[in-house]
Amino acid sequence: MPSKPAPIKKAAKKEPEKKEEEKAPEPAPEPAPEPAPVEEAPAAAAEGEAPAEATESAAPAAESDAPADGEAPAEAPAPEPKPPTPPPPPKEPTSAPVDLFVEDKNDNSVTIIWSQPETIGDSGLDGYVIEVCKDGTEDWKAVNQDLQKSSRYVIKNQTTGDRLKIRVVAVNEGGRSPPVTLPEPVLVKEVADRPKVRLPRFLRQRFVAHVGEKINLTIPFTGKPKPEVSWTKNGTALDKKRVNVRSTERDSILFIRAAERDDSGVYEICVKVEGFEDKASLTLQIVELPGPPASVKIVDTWGFNVALEWTAPKDNGNTEITGYTVQKADKKTGDYFTVLEHYHRLNATISDLIMGNTYKFRVFSENKCGMSESAAVTKEEAKILKTGIDYKPPEYKEHDFSEAPKFTTSLSDKATTVGYSTKLLCSVRGFPKPKIEWMKNQMIIGDDPKFRQICVQGICSLEIRKAGNFDGGVYSCRAKNDHGEAIISCKLDVKQAVNPDADKK
């Protein structure tokens, strides 16, 4: 019967599907092909059932009938499995640090610096380990407890004179890098640096101070290890009672509490480091006020003049004399007055003395500190004698100031309004004082009360009070004296006042 093979096909079809569902979680092997339909087809044909084509067409129908038989619905095919994640690569250390060398060293420490490795990798760089061992051994010991983050390290607490081999290792999660080692062992000892005295600029020339002042000079220098400093004055050792010296690693201080003239001289500082030395010298000059001139005398007296001469002071105050000050005093009053200041010669002539007076003179010396406290005074006196001189005053010819009148400012034409006052002004000069006359239309005004005439210091004015219609015309001013006369004229125009009410009508 054609309907019998369907259950057989259906059972044979279901088993591989269940196997596939069970095997789906396993990622590695692929599912095997379905052998059931191929093997059962000939058997069905031998039993006289439907041909293979009917069997194949019946298989999908049987699958579609599966829910009707009460079986579970078929599930969706499982997605293809992802390939397995490869294991992470092993972590590797960095390459060795580079450029390791000694930056500085002293008697108990060594300072080294280096550069980071050229190849660091994905693991990064956590820090550095600094290791040392004495020369001749291989007993390497780390000197830093924690990883050093920077590329500089000071190896402290070492013994002076030891020779150390030094190396640096970079560390990360991959472990230690190959070390970088100094090519030669390092001797733990201060590096000798040639000494050099840095003499300040103001001490390269003569340093001048006054007696009693405090001297405090600082001289810086360089050199390693700490230089040995020594001072001398004029080639001999310093007097420690007068001069104090205090030296440090960087400078030396020369101190004098209260300077005296004996402290002047050439001071030399010498700085030594092992077999090297450097020297510098400075000149110290202590000065004070000079003494007075040794002597002063009156050489000659004539007329109203006195000639003086004096000699230089014995004590110049330890500096050159810059000049002299000469003063005179009248015997009657005894008060001294300066006649010469900052005078450079050793002789002088004092002039413009008063006849009949007796004079004394004194001379002070000067230097850069000032004028001497005392002066050299003349022993003799200079008396200016009276002589029989008749004074004849010069004769002067009296100047003739006579001058004819002349107007220096002319009259100007003017215009005025009826009922308003106005003034005419001009100026005139002449000697003797000229007589002034005012005229209107060639007629002398005289003492008319309508007009007011004033002439003060050559300024002439004519005031016309409340001018009327008939006051217009030509006004003239005439000035005359014994040497002549002058006349000037102007025109006065009197206008009618404008009545605004008349215009409105």
Q: Do the strands 207-210 and 276-287 form a parallel or antiparallel pair, or are they unpaired?
A: parallel
CATH topology for 295-384?
Answer: Immunoglobulin-like (2.60.40)
Structure confidence at residue 463 as a pLDDT band (50, 70, 90): very high
CA dist., res. 338 & res. 407, Å (int) = 57
pLDDT of the residue at 107: 81
Equal fold, 295-384 vs 403-495: yes
Q: Domain segments of the chain: what residues? A: 97-188, 193-287, 295-384, 403-495
* Predicted confidence (pLDDT) per residue in 138-160, tens digit: 899 899 988 989 999 999 988 88
Average pLDDT, the chain: 83
* Short-list 347, 231, 233, 241, CA closest to 298: 347
Tokens 């290890």 locate to 225
Q: What SS3 class is residue 198?
A: coil
Q: Right CATH number for 193-287 from 2.60.40.10, 3.30.465.10, 2.60.40.1180, 3.30.1300.10?
A: 2.60.40.10
Q: Right CATH number for 403-495 from 3.30.70.260, 3.40.50.720, 2.60.40.1180, 2.60.40.10?
A: 2.60.40.10
Structure confidence at residue 75 as a pLDDT band (50, 70, 90): low
pLDDT of the residue at 74: 53
- Residue 56: pLDDT over 50: no
- Residue 320: pLDDT over 80: yes
- Residue 294: pLDDT over 80: yes
Tokens 């007097």 locate to 239
pLDDT of the residue at 500: 66
pLDDT of the residue at 41: 38
The identity of residue 482, as a single letter, is: D
* Predicted confidence (pLDDT) per residue in 83-109, tens digit: 777 777 677 888 899 999 898 888 888
What mean pLDDT comes out for the span 180-196? Answer: 86
What mean pLDDT comes out for the span 17-28? Answer: 42
CATH topology for 97-188?
Answer: Immunoglobulin-like (2.60.40)
- Residue 49: pLDDT over 90: no
pLDDT of the residue at 297: 93
* Short-list 312, 367, 319, CA closest to 342: 367
**Cβ–Cβ under 8 Å, residues 160 and 115:** no
Q: What are phi and psi of 192, to 5 degrees?
A: -70, 125
